[in-house]
Structure 1
Amino acid sequence: MNTKYSDLIDQTYYFPQEEFTLDDNELKFHGIDLMELVRKYGAPLKFNYLPKISDNIQRAKKWFASAMEKHNYKGTYNYCYCTKSSHFEHVLNEALKNDIHIETSSAFDINIVENLKAKGKITDDTYVLCNGFKRDEYIENIARLLNNGHRNCIPIIDNYEEIDLLSENIDGKFPIGIRIASEEEPKFEFYTSRLGIGYKNIVPFFNKQIKNNDQVELKMLHFFINTGIRDTAYYWNELIKCLKVYIALKKVCPTLDSLNIGGGFPVKNSLHFEYDYEYMVDEIINQIKMVCDDAEVEVPNIFTEFGSFTVGESGGAIYEILYQKQQNDREKWNMINSSFITTLPDTWAISKKFVMLALNRWNDEYERVLLGGLTCDSDDYYNSEQNVNAIYLPKYKKDKPLYIGFFNTGAYQETIGGFGGLHHCLIPQPKHILIDKDENGNITTELFSKQQNAEDMLKILGYNNGN
C-alpha cells in the first residue's frame, strides 16, 4: 500500500515540475535547497527568488513578439509593471533590468519613480502610466514629474474632473489616457466598475473636454478587467466592446494610438494549474488586428500591466509545524509557528489558495490535517488545497520537525499584511530573505529584514517613544 507523502504527491499531480523537484526526501524550489534555508535562517521566514521576476517578464515579451510577427501586427508592445503588487526596491531593481515601464496607482508611487530616476534605473523614455482616483497630492506629484521633463508620464483619466485638476498644475501640453469602466462579471455584487468612464460616455467626454482643449493630447485607451485575462465569453465580449470604443474614438481623435490591456495573467496556484498563456496572447493580438482591419483604422500600440504575474511566482513562505491538536475524532489541527491572517492575508480575506507542500519528510506516512495560525481569531486557518478537498502532510511527530512551504506568494501579501507594522495579536512579522544568482549561476541569499521583536512593536504602539 502506498502510504508515503511522496506517493500521495505522485498519485495526485504530475511531479516533479519545472520549479519543484525532490532531492533526498526534501523539496527544492528552482534548485533552492529550502531546508538549508531553514537551517541557516530558521522559520518562519518569507523569501523572494528574484530571477523569477525577469524570467516571467521575458516570457511575456516573447509571447507578444511571436504573436505580432505571426499576425503582421504593426504596433509596438510595452510591458508595464504594476507597482502596487509589490513596491519593494529589490523587486523594481530586478524588473527594470528588462526594459519595462511602470504603472502607478497613488501619490507615493511618484516618489518611488523619482527615486528610481535619481539612481538611473529609469529615464525620461520610461512610460509612467498613472492610474487610480486622483486628488490633491497625487495630482501634484504627477504634475511635478511632467513639469520636470518626464513627458512619457501619462495620467489615465478616471473621472470627469481630473483633466481640469491636472491642467491647473501642469505647464504646457501633456498626454492623457482614458480608463473604460468595464462591466463586471454577472456574479459580481455590482454591474459596472467604480473606476473609469462608461463605454457610452467616452466619445461624448472626448468631444466635450478634450477635442478643443489645446493643453491635452489623448494617446491611450485603458481597458481593465478585474478578474484578469481569461479565456471566457465574458472576457472576449468585453474586449470586443472595448475595441469598438477604440475605433469610434480613433476616428475622431487621430492622436489616439495606444491600447492598454489592463487585468493581468493568472499566477500558478496549484500543481494542477493549466493556462495557455501563448494562446491567449495570440488570440488577443488576432482579435485586435481583425477588428481594426475591418474598420480600416491603424492597430494600436499595446501596453500591458502585469503585477501579480511579474512578481507573484518569486515569493514564498516557510513555517514549522509546532504542535498537533486533536480536537475531535476527525479533525487534527497542525499549528504553524506564525499566522495566516498576518503573513498570507489573502488566504483569509478572499480565500485565496497557494501552492502548499511539505519541505521535508517526504518518505514518511501522510495524514489528513487542518492548518491553524497562532492568533486567537477563529478565521486564522488554511483548510484546503486547490482541486483537493483536504490537506495531507507527513504525520506529525513531536521528535521529527516538519516544515511546510507556501509558494507563489510574492504579490500583495506584504503590503496588505502591513510590512513592518502591527499585526493581529501582535504576531511578529517573519524574517525576509532575498534569493538571487551570482555571475556563475550559484544561489546566493541575503537577509532583507529581521523578524520583529517586542521592542519594535512597543515603539509602534507608543510605549517606547521616550515619554
Structure 2
Amino acid sequence: MNTKYIDLIDQTYYFPQEEFTLQEEFLRFHGIPLNELVEKYGSPLKFTYLPKISQNINLAKQWFANAIEKHGYKGRYHYCYCTKSSHFQHVLHEVLNNEVHIETSSAFDIDIVERLKAAGRLKDDTYIICNGFKRERYIENIGRLINEGHQNCLPIIDNYEELDLLCDEIKDDFQVGIRIASEEEPKFEFYTSRLGIGYKNIVPFYENQIKDNDKVELKMLHFFINTGIRDNSYYWNELLKCLKVYIKLKKICPSLDSLNIGGGFPTKNSLAFEYDYQYMIDEIINQINIACKEANVAVPHIFTEFGSFTVGESGGAIYEILYQKQQNDREKWNMIDSSFITTLPDTWAINKRFILLPINRWNDEYERVLLGGLTCDSDDYYNSEQNMNAIYLPKFKRDKPLYIGFFNTGAYQETIGGFGGLQHCLIPQPKHILIDKDANGEFTYEVFSQQQRAEDLLSILGYNDAPEKEGEKTGVLDERVGATPH
C-alpha cells in the first residue's frame, strides 16, 4: 500500500520540482539542506535565500526581452522593485545588483534611497517612481531628492492637490506621472480604486494643471490593478481602457513616453501552481503594439513594478510540531512552536496560501491534520481554507520530532507582522537567517536577527526598570519556544 508521505506527494503532484528535492527523507529547497539548517539554528526559524531574488529579476527581464524582439517593439523595458514588499537592506542590496529601478510608497522610502545612494548602491540615473498618497513629509523628501540632482525621481500624481504641493517644494523643472484609478473587480465592495485619478478625468487634469505649466512635464501614465497581472477578461479590459487613455494623452502631450503597467506577477503558492509568464508578457506587448499602431502613435517605454514576484519566493519559515491535540473524532490539531498571526500574518488576514511541506520524515505514514499557533486567539491557525486542500503531514510521534516548512513567504510578512516589535500574546519573533552562495557555489549562512528576548519586549512595553529574572535572557515565553532541536 502507498501509505508514506512521499507516496502521497508522488501521486498528487509532479515531484521533485525545480526548487524542491529530497535527499533521503529530508526536504531541500534550492539545494539548501533544511534539516541541517534546523539542527544548527533551531526552531522556529525564518530564512531568506538571496540568490532567488536575482534569479526572478533576470527571468522577468529575459521574458520582456523575448517579447520585445518577437513583436518588433520599439520601446525599452524597465524593471522596478516595490520596496514595500520588503525594505530590508539585504534585500535592496541584492535587488540593486541587477540594474533595476525603485518604486516607493511613503516618506521614509526616500530616506532609504538616500542611504543607498550614499553607499554607492543606487546610481544617479536610477528611476525612483514615487507612488502613494503624499503627505507633507513625503512631498518634502521627494523635493529634496530632486533638488539635490536626482532628475529621474518621478512623482506619480495620486490626487488633484499633489501637483501644486510638488511645485512649491521643487526648485527647478521636473517630470511627473499620473496614476489611473482603475475600476475594481465586481466582487469588490467598491467600484473604483481609491488610488489615482479616474479614467475620464485624466485628460482634463493634464489640460488644466500640466499642459501650460512650464515647470512640469508629463512623462508616465501609471496603470495598476489590485489583483495583479492575470489572464482574465477583467485584466485585459482594464488594460485596453488604459491604452485608450494613453493614446488620447499622447496625441496632445508629446513628452508622454512611458507606460507603467504596475500590478504584480503571482508567486508560486502550490506544487500544482501554473502560470505562463512568457505568454502574458507576449500578449501585453502585443496589445500595446497593436493599439498604438492603429492610433498612429509611438509605443511607450514599459515600466513594471514587481514586489512579491521579486522577493516572495526567496523566503521561508520553519516550525516544529510540538504536540497533537485530538479535539474530537475528526479534528487533530498539530500545534507549532510559534504563531501564524505574528510570523505569517497574511494567512490570518487574507487567507493567503503558501507552500507547506514537511522538512523530515517523508518516508513515514501520513495523516490529515489542522495546524494551530501558540497564541490564545482562535484565529491563529492554518487549515484547508488557506491551503485549498486538506493538510496531510507525517503522523505525529512524540519520539520522532516533525519539522514543517512554509515556502515563498518573503514578501510583506515581516513588515505586516511588525518586525522587531510587539507580537500577539508576546510570542517571540523567530531567529532569521540569510542564505547566500559564495564564489565556489557553496551555501553561506548569516544570522540577521536573533529570536526576541523577554527584555526586548519588556523594554517596548515600558518595563525598563523591571528586575531581571532567571530565564528572561533566553526569551523563552513558552518552555518549548526556541528549544534546541532533537
TM-score range, shorter chain: over 0.9
The residue number in structure 2 matching 1:59 is: 59
Are 1:384 and 2:384 an aligned pair? Answer: yes
CA displacement 1:120-154 (0-9 Å, x = unmatched): 00111000000000010000000000000000000
Q: Which residue of 1 aligns with 2:396?
A: 396
Q: Is the 8 A contact 2:372 2:381 kept in 1?
A: yes
- Counterpart of 1:229? 229
Q: Is the 8 A contact 1:335 1:374 kept in 2?
A: yes
Matched residue SS, 2:108: helix
Give 1:366 deviation, angstroms. Answer: 0.3
CA offset digits 1:410-448 (Å, max 9, x no partner): 000000000000010000000000000000111111100
Cα shift at 1:319: 0.1
Is residue 272 of structure 2 the alignment partner of residue 272 of structure 1? Answer: yes
Name the CA distance, whole Å, in 2 between partners of 1:386 and 1:329: 22
- What residue number does 1:302 align with? 302
Instruction: Provide the C-alpha distance between the structure 1 equivalents of 2:24 and 2:71, rounded to a whole number of angstroms.
Output: 48
Q: Could you list the runs of 5+ residues in structure 1 that have no partner in the other structure?
A: none
Structure 1 residues 318-467: aligned runs within 5 Å: 318-384=318-384, 388-464=388-464
After the TM superposition, which segments of 4 or more aligned residues of structure 1 sit over 6 Å from their partners? none
Residue 484 of structure 2 corresponds to which residue in structure 1? none
Give me the whole-angstrom Cα distance separating, in 2, the residues matched to 1:19 and 1:389: 21
| Conserved 8 A contact 2:432-2:448 | yes
Once the two structures are superposed, residues 232-279 of structure 1 have per-residue CA deviations (whole angstroms, 9 ceiling, x without a partner) of: 000000000000000000011000000001100000000000000000
Provide the secondary structure at the position in 1 that maps to 2:223.
Answer: strand
CA distance in 2, matches of 1:172, 1:382: 53
Q: Distance in 2 between matches of 1:389 and 1:399?
A: 28
Map 1:200-279 to 2 at 5 A.
200-279=200-279
Tell me if structure 2 keeps the 8 A contact 1:423–1:429.
yes
Give the distance between the partners of 1:278 and 1:389, measured in 2 at CA.
28
Counterparts in 2 of 1:99 and 1:463: CA distance versus 1, 3 Å: same
The letter of the residue matching 1:399 is D
Give matches, 1:100-115, under 5 Å. 100-115=100-115
Corresponding residue number in structure 1 for 2:118: 118
SS at match of 2:38: helix
Identity across matched positions, percent: 79
Q: Contact between 2:351 and 2:386, CA under 8 Å: does it hold in 1?
A: no
Alignment of 1:9-88 (within 5 A): 9-88=9-88
Q: Aligned partners of 1:386 and 1:108: how far apart in 2?
A: 33
Aligned partners of 1:272 and 1:387 also within 8 Å: no
The separation in 1 between residues aligned to 2:396 and 2:322, in whole angstroms, is 9
TM-score (norm. length: structure 2):
0.95
**Deviations for 1:33-69, whole angstroms, at most 9, x for unmatched residues?**
0000000000000000000000000000000001001
Structure 2's unaligned 5+ residue stretches are 468-486
Question: Closer, same or farther in 2 for the Cα pair 1:404/1:145, shift >3 Å?
Answer: same
Give the match for residue 162 of structure 1. Answer: 162
Shift of the alpha carbon at 1:172? Answer: 1.0
Which residue identity lines up with residue 295 of structure 2 in the other structure?
A
* Alpha-carbon distance in structure 2 between the residues aligned to 1:386 and 1:2: 26
TM-score (norm 1): 0.99
SS of 2:304's partner is strand
